């Protein structure tokens, strides 16, 4: 008889956040409020009004409904093409435009994205193309999708376990989801995104996993990808062009976490990104609006 290796104890998120307090403007250690850093141009962030945020919530709600359909379908034997068809139907019935279908590829000569969802299985990190291979028990599948409804965008992602998965894989899913929850809570307490990114990075590393650095979150509004870029880790570039978390800022926050190496490669199809060590990764995403009442998740049912 073998004993099952448990996922180990994780610090609870509130305790992880306990040292984080929103500093008053201009307090020691905080950055000067509005002075852009010298040198390069800071990102131009389109602030959204409360009315615009309400419209984005409608798009977000529809994206959440699409993920509900996906959740019901993720069982051994289902295919990612099935998941894609289900999400396409939800968007079509609501009169929404899928954001991923026909998205141009950044690699020259490669085709536009051919589906409504990205489905990334096991070692695939992001941008996997749906296909007819049946999912197997023990797989994990990250499903990312977005739509435009009445001119405004919503974007979110979940990673699902297909039946029971290995404890270490379940821990990867839990930690990645918790990293997103941690970020959302921290957005209510931190003045700058770099503080949030630092907490995300610390939490992932404290669990023995790594943060994918080649892909990042993004501003979102009338377009899916607006400025600024929203990394899940701290870098000199982020500190130089930090994001002030003020009301009207809307970000797609999307931690991508690898069990092993953070190094990735893109496959021949020009889209699918996988870990170089081919160990599993996970991806969760919500569209989050900063409001005068704090951060609000727009991609909820």
> Cβ of residue 3: shortest distance to Mg ion, in angstroms?
38
Nearer to Mg ion, 102 or 206 (CB): 102
Nearer to Mg ion, 252 or 258 (CB): 252
Half-sphere exposure of residue 136: CA atoms within 13 angstroms, side-chain side: 4
252 is a site residue for Mg ion (CB under 5 A): yes
226 is a site residue for Mg ion (CB under 5 A): no
Among candidates 201, 183, 185, which has minimal Cα distance to 258? 201
Q: Which two tokens stand for residue 46?
A: 């389109």
> Cβ of residue 76: shortest distance to Mg ion, in angstroms?
25
Q: How far apart are the first and last CA of the chain?
A: 44
Inter-residue long-range contacts of 93-97, CB under 8 Å, 24+ positions, other chains counted? 94/62, 94/147, 94/149, 95/149, 96/59, 96/62, 96/147, 96/148, 96/149, 97/147, 97/148, 97/149
Nearer to Mg ion, 201 or 285 (CB): 285
Residue 105 CB coordination number (10 Å)? 15
Among candidates 152, 128, 142, which has minimal Cα distance to 62? 152
242 is a site residue for Mg ion (CB under 5 A): no
> Cβ of residue 126: shortest distance to Mg ion, in angstroms?
8
The single-letter DSSP state of residue 260 is: S
d(CA 97, CA 1): 53
- Residue of 52, 82, 155, 201 interacting with Mg ion (CB under 5 A): 155
Nearer to Mg ion, 242 or 285 (CB): 285
> Cβ of residue 221: shortest distance to Mg ion, in angstroms?
12
Question: Which part of the chain contacts Mg ion (CB under 5 A), choosing from 136-144, 176-184, 201-209, 269-277?
Answer: 136-144
Binding-site string for Mg ion from residue 271 to residue 300, where x marks contact by CB under 5 A and - marks none? --------------x---------------
- Residue of 82, 84, 123, 144 interacting with Mg ion (CB under 5 A): 144
> Cβ of residue 169: shortest distance to Mg ion, in angstroms?
21
Q: Which two tokens stand for residue 155?
A: 């974007």
Residues that bind Mg ion (CB under 5 A): 144, 155, 157, 252, 285
């Amino acid at each position: 008889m073998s004993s099952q290796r448990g996922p180990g104890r994780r610090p609870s998120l509130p305790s992880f956040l306990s040292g984080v307090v929103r500093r008053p403007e201009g307090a020691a250690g905080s950055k000067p409020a509005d002075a852009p850093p010298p040198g390069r141009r800071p990102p131009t962030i389109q602030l959204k009004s409360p009315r615009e945020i309400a419209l984005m919530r409608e798009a977000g709600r529809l994206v959440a409904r699409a993920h509900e359909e996906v959740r019901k379908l993720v069982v051994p034997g289902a295919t990612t093409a099935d998941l894609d068809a289900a999400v396409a139907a939800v968007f079509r019935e609501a009169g929404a435009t899928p954001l991923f279908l026909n998205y141009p590829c950044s690699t020259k000569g490669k085709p536009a994205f051919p589906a409504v969802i990205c489905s990334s299985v096991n070692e695939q990190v992001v941008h996997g193309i749906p296909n007819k291979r049946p999912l197997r028990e023990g797989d994990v599948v990250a499903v990312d999708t977005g739509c435009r409804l009445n001119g405004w965008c919503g974007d979110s992602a979940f990673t699902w376990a297909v039946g029971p998965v290995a404890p270490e894989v379940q821990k990867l899913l839990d930690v990645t989801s918790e990293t997103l929850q941690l970020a959302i809570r921290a957005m209510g307490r931190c003045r700058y995104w770099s503080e949030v990114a630092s907490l995300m990075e610390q939490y992932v590393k404290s669990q023995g996993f790594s943060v994918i650095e080649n892909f990042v979150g993004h501003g979102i509004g009338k377009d899916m990808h607006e400025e600024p870029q929203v990394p899940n880790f701290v870098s000199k570039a982020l500190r130089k062009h930090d994001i002030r978390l003020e009301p009207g800022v809307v970000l797609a926050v999307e931690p991508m976490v690898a069990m092993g190496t953070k190094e990735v490669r893109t496959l021949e199809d020009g889209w699918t990104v996988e870990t170089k060590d081919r160990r599993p990764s996970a991806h969760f995403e919500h569209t989050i609006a900063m409001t005068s009442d704090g951060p609000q998740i727009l991609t909820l049912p």
